[in-house]
Structure 1
Amino acid sequence: MPVSSHPDRERAPIIFGHKTALAILRSAAPRTLPPVAGRARVLPGRAPARGEVEAAIGHLEAAYPDLRLERPAHVLVGSTALGRPSKAAKAHSLTVPLSGASFYRLGDGVFACMPALSFVQEAARGKSLVALLELGYELCGTYRTRRTGAATAYGVEPLASVKTLCGYVARNASVDGARKVSRALRYLAGGSASARETKQALVLGLPHRHGGYGLGIPRMNYEVRASRAAEALTGKKSFRMDLCWPERKLDVEYQSREWHEGEASRVSDSRRANALMSMGWTVVGVTNDELDSFAATEAIAQTLRRHLGKHSQIRTSDYHARKLELRRHLGLPMGYE
């Protein structure tokens, strides 16, 4: 739904960026918005006035009833004339040339950065590697949280893909934050269905120097075609793996309380596991409580390491401390219970 313009006066364009743009795009369905390439025809030479920003936000919130933007909103300026900060907006300078499409047009004179540029901007704000990866997994996953400015929901459309993020930073390497994103992309996977799956993938997959178990980043919600016998057992033509290493036929299923309660779910899980084992797959279940337990996670990681044929060669002297630090960054308990 386009945002109406102000016919009574001319005003400079307003370009929302950073997490403000992500919050807008969660409500605005990016596939319905026209993209705008480059920067010269869009970015204003001055920061918008408080009244201009509030008017634009008012029109956006009227167009998208579930949208409620936090203040100050993040806006972009194509010069160093950022003006005085206000409660309505925080201005950021963007003066380097941009290659390819970087903005969506929301209405006359109102734009939002595309997710790839917003991701780069968030990286430039000094986010830790772990925080940046959690944001990236959410952008490329099928869930959302307050991290992208919206109420928690599952089964939503991804805002980006690993491929589009890679392509954007390759074309715009001079944008502040692009180099940091490039380093993070090697640990990013698309398709995560929840924040907890993301945490599990990072704990298991990140290398030792970052506090992970060094098992390699798994494929997320990877689809495997069922054999005839497996289809006969389950009635399903394919299976989706929460976290898997397909080259070793290893599947890790995150058994959340929401989706794995009740006798019917247990029967379904059992049939699924038996069907996959008939196809040569190993299925390892991980519960909420096990992910929250440092000792249980250690044991599960060792089991997975054996199935993956990986040797535990720790060359990081403070590895134990780094594992605890990673869990702290992810908001996971660090005790042994």
Structure 2
Amino acid sequence: MTHPRIGFVCQYKHPDRDLSPTALKLIEGPFNPRTTTLRWMESVTPAEAREKLVEVVTHNLAAQLRLLAYVAQLPPTLRMLRLSSDLLPFYSHAKVHHVYQDPAIAQQLIDGFAAIGELARSADIRLSFHPGQYCVLGSENPGVVENSLAEFEYHADMIRMMGYGRRFQDLKCNVHIAGRLGVEGTRSIWPRLSEVARNCITFENDEKTYGLDDCLQMADLAPVVLDIHHLWIHEGEYIAPDAPRVQRVIDSWRGVRPTMHYSQPVESLQTLGFAAEQKLEMEALLKVVSKRDLYAHSDRMWNHCTNTYAAQFLDRFDIMLEAKDKNVASLEFYAQVERRLG
């Protein structure tokens, strides 16, 4: 994995966004995960709950394989995908986990995830996970920590069944430093993570509390995922690709090609006078919007100036795009930077 990669997250989007919602659902549904609710599962008999869960899991494993097959036919640079965290609903929940221990279901998971891993390796697709923001390893609440560890190990179980987690960063499972105890609290639970979890975990800077400098305090344990959008919001400036801290991020990957995250604020900024060819400067933006307005991700990578900036990192980083239009956004970004890659 030495050539540049551009990835997208979790779901397939059809390029023609002008189709009706019904038409889009019919096209996209086979590629994307489904779920159910804990309330519904508790409202029916155990047999009905189990049947629904098996139905959802069967669909999700097939959908993930179908999405990987789509990625496998893309140009090599675009063979990078964040897998959905919702493949196995409520896997880490105490009221549901026993269902997944049923021998028949357990074997279905083993076979299904093995097929996903085999396809990813045969097609040279770089995979990752990103547990949700409720995974708070640095919480001061012991119950939250226990639930967070269980949630992370849920991802480790999927990684293990796919045949990854056997060596350092053969698959990335990314979290934010979160919780009042922050770096100290996260470091304290490190010995409790499984070997697979420790091989795959990365720490990403956020836009609110724990920035790049906090993540670099964890670099002796795990790689740092540089999110350039979060950093821009947190610090108000664009970090230079050759900045010393960027080199420290690269060093934290210990010879593995680093992954960074890239997103943009929403397209509606254009209605406020910020053109696609204009550099987005924090001082000017904060005169008309709040910093919180900049958190949300755009549909596409609409600002060409920011794309040019991000493309400067491709020499040494793979880039995971976080945009609402998923693969459509990655295809457009790839088209914009293809000349640089060539």
- Does the TM-score normalized on the shorter chain lie above 0.5? no
Structure with bigger RCO (C-alpha 8 Å, 6+ apart): 2
| TM-score, structure 1 as length reference | 0.32
Q: Which has the higher strand share?
A: 1
| Higher Rg of the two aligned structures | 1
Q: Which has the higher helix share?
A: 2
TM-score by length of 2: 0.31
